[in-house]
Amino acid sequence: MTEYIASVPAVKVAIGAVDGNKVAHIIRLGSPVPEGVGQEQLNSLVRRGLIKAVEPVVEVKQKPARSSSTVQ
């Protein structure tokens, strides 16, 4: 799934059903665009340079390091 972040100081996005009520959100530079923004709106914002697509960050859990101390 593609994720988007704001590439300008502030951008307004609308979240909500196509045929229902929408709520406006102001997204600040570098902040992620929340889920619920329609694909048509995302495409328009990308074309206008207001947001950009980024690769999703995947957290990798590392195993705890083993202790190398020895007891004598």
Helix (H) or strand (E) holding 54, with range, is: strand 51-54
List phi, psi (to 5°) of 26: -100, 125
Q: Is the pLDDT of residue 72 over 70?
A: no
Q: To the nearest 5 percent, what fractions of the chain are helix, strand and coil?
A: 10, 30, 55
Q: Is the pLDDT of residue 24 over 80?
A: yes
- Residue 8 burial (CB count, 10 A): 14
Half-sphere exposure of 12 (CA within 13 A, CB side): 4
Q: Is the pLDDT of residue 53 over 80?
A: yes
Q: Whole-model pTM above 0.85?
A: no
Q: What is the pLDDT of residue 65?
A: 67
Q: Is the pLDDT of residue 19 over 90?
A: no
